[in-house]
Chain A
């Protein structure tokens, strides 16, 4: 099945590994992600922090491109893009707001927009297909699913599972054999984009999440958000310093975990791009692969 796709800017920069693994997993599930032509940045947090109409205009241009392509659904991997695109679509239902936003655009935006959902939700619709294609069960691997604060909140906007206890990622990864721990901070905030201007904010919030994951003895934190991944992985030493410790906790994208189960190589999934290496996890999986009766696998 073909989907209109909005990768978001980080897919071209800091989360190339998310993009690689998302494409790999979707390809395997016969989901074709087609980038909408000429898409622009959704404005992320800075745009809505500064002005709601500016943020909506940047989003509306993308929604309009997708609408003109005749798309019914628009998929994005990034929770921040998802949140902004959905917020803009919702606000544009109000005529006075729509008019103010249209004034900022080259041409008035399409009257109706496709619904924007997370790639994760689209993959979940293919769960049966996914289970059939598992080549290497993740059995024996212990993971914490971390959604971050944007994916499920505010609830009326996101309509993504229980806003404080989503389970979609757990369901997908458990279907591949992984042991999913109950992770109470799964929708806590990682400190967002404060890493540059206010490092203490990010170090403190990310550190809390890392500390809990360490205590729960997981092999990795699994995330769906490029900014969360960067804060927890690339900034892990900064968080460690704030907590007077050295963390060593791999933080991978859920698509990388699914990709491993589907039999892709580390390189194909961009796992070599992690700042904190996932070697422990990969060795564990390697051991499982070599075990004579690879459980749950077909080969």
Chain B
């Protein structure tokens, strides 16, 4: 956010209120001390630092904020929340923004979403997550065929990767139904599931 921003044209004050309501955080309390950014372990991979995101939300720069790659690179480690002198759960704000971006169909780092959805697919299918399944689905979705092949021999030799998924006794159907209802509701509400 270092280039000039035309505040008159780009501000969306409803956005600020919406983020506050959804995250339950008082965004106006942020006085831009930069503590969150200083401790953020993912900052090196951010296009917009987390304190800048906070400022962007205050100013209602909806488009700039929701398009940021940072939302997808956040590790959800809550270091920022812990160190904010104004007690803002900054990690919760980051998560809220990511949800808003996704629901609006803005996915600035598609491979992250692909990875998460691959993981969740194994949960839907088996009721429990499955590491190899996640990896295979992710490779297929992202067409990255070499991901972690270097680790597979060690992991397999040590019996650390289960080849077969572990399905709960009683089956995976109850979990699948959760996903089905979730998807149907998202469709009814017109958001990306």
Chain A residues in contact with chain B, CB under 8 A? 9, 12-16, 37-41, 43-54, 57-58, 61, 103-106, 149-150, 153-155, 163-164, 188-189, 191-198, 200-201, 204-205, 230, 234-235, 237-238, 272-275
Cβ contact within 8 Å between B129 and A9: yes
Total of A-B residue pairs, C-beta within 8 Å: 169
Cβ contact within 8 Å between A153 and B79: yes
Least CB separation from B110: chain A residue: A197
Chain B residues in contact with chain A, CB under 8 A? 41-42, 44-45, 73, 75-79, 81-82, 89, 91-92, 95, 98-99, 102, 111-117, 119-120, 123, 127-131, 134-135, 138, 142, 147-148, 150-151, 154-155, 158-162, 166, 168-170, 172, 174-175, 177-179, 181-182, 185, 193
12 contacts between A and B (CB under 8 A): A14-B160, A40-B175, A43-B123, A45-B116, A47-B120, A104-B182, A105-B178, A155-B82, A191-B75, A194-B75, A196-B134, A238-B150
Given contacts A197-B114, A198-B112, A274-B158, contact A57 B182 (CB under 8 A): yes
A188 to B77 Cα, complex, angstroms: 8
A232 to B92 Cα, complex, angstroms: 27
Residues in chain B near residue A44, CB distance under 8 A: 119, 129
Residues in chain B near residue A195, CB distance under 8 A: 148
Cβ contact within 8 Å between B82 and A164: yes
Given contacts A197-B114, A197-B115, A198-B112, contact A41 B155 (CB under 8 A): no
Cβ-neighbour of B166 out of A12, A163, A237 (below 8 A): A12
Min distance, Cβ B46 to any Cβ of chain A, angstroms = 11
